[in-house]
Amino acid sequence: MMQTAIVTGVTGGIGNETAKLFLEKGWRVVGVGRSDISKAENLTAFGERFLYVQGDVSVSDTKDRAIQAALDGGNTISALINVAGVAPKVRADLLEMTEESYDYVMDINAKGTFFFTQTVAKEMIKAADKEKSFNGAIVNIASISSYTSSVNRGEYCISKAGISMMTQLFADRLAEYHITVNEIRPGVIQTNMTAGVTEKYDKLIEEGTFPIARWGTPSDVAKAVFLFADGTLSYTTGEALSVDGGFCIRRL
């Protein structure tokens, strides 16, 4: 039986590219997104190996429908890739941030990721109990914002810092079941989320903020995700891999 992955946020750049790579590698993928399926037409081209579940990851029904789709036909879930995330609708100074904006970002980025992971982890544990050779992988998309202050989008930074701690917590809790939990910390990636601040990041790239002086691509992130999911790094858990053009290097 082919391996099955759930990938959230498949109508966005990183999620879409990640799902595409898994499909190209022969996996079965259940993709989750808030947008109409037309935003994932390049994935539907893979036929029955791609199933789309439309919905918000912060809503339990979306999570439940995606997991059921993954398990249909007696399949098990080999990997969960938590990509779905949002930025605040309005970038506001920390002192002006609203509760509504905080709740919007945290519900999707933090709450959605946590409870999706919790529920999938329970299904992976069932699979591990049945099949001793089972190995599961959970990969969270965090951000350089997990540790980098941006005072005009504090809710986003807090949500990503939360994902980094979730990675540690679930890695610790699930290791005994041969389920690895790791995270990717993308830097400045060319997606719809960064489209509105292109000029800002172009300038930072030009000024040398990133040693590899270019925008990152969704493909850069997808390849790192797959490295954690395909078993290559089966003795690695609780790790954060930066895909950020060297931004994480401390320089004088």
CA 104 to chain centre: 17
Q: Which residues contact 123 (CB under 8 A, 6 or more apart)?
A: 67, 71, 76, 77
Whether residue 97 lies inside any domain: the answer is: yes
Whether residue 251 lies inside any domain: the answer is: no
Tell me which H or E stretch contains 54. Answer: strand 50-54
Torsion of CA 56, 94, 247, 192, to 10 degrees: 40
d(CA 148, CA 151): 10
Whether residue 247 lies inside any domain: the answer is: no
Whether residue 250 lies inside any domain: the answer is: no
Whether residue 84 lies inside any domain: the answer is: yes
Whether residue 189 lies inside any domain: the answer is: yes
Share of the chain above pLDDT 70, in %: 100
pTM of the model: 0.96
Q: How many CA atoms lie within 13 A of 102 on its CB side?
A: 9
Q: What value does the mean pLDDT of the chain take? A: 96
Does residue 132 register a pLDDT over 90? no
Give the range of the structural domain holding residue 73, as residue numbers without chain letter.
4-242
Per-residue pLDDT tens over the stretch 55-78: 999 999 999 999 999 999 999 999
Whether residue 248 lies inside any domain: the answer is: no
What secondary structure letter does DSSP report for 244?
S
Mean pLDDT calculated for residue range 91-113: 98
User: Is 102 tagged catalytic?
Assistant: no
User: What is the structure's pLDDT at 188?
Assistant: 96
Per-residue pLDDT tens over the stretch 104-126: 999 999 999 999 999 999 999 99
Whether residue 225 lies inside any domain: the answer is: yes
Q: Residue 43 in contact with residue 52, Cβ under 8 Å?
A: yes
What secondary structure letter does DSSP report for 107?
I
Place 130 in a pLDDT band, splitting at 50, 70 and 90: very high
Q: Which of 156, 177, 201, 235 is catalytic?
A: 156
The structural domain count of the chain equals: 1
Domain with 91 in it: what CATH number? 3.40.50.720
Q: Which residues contact 148 (CB under 8 A, 6 or more apart)?
A: 157
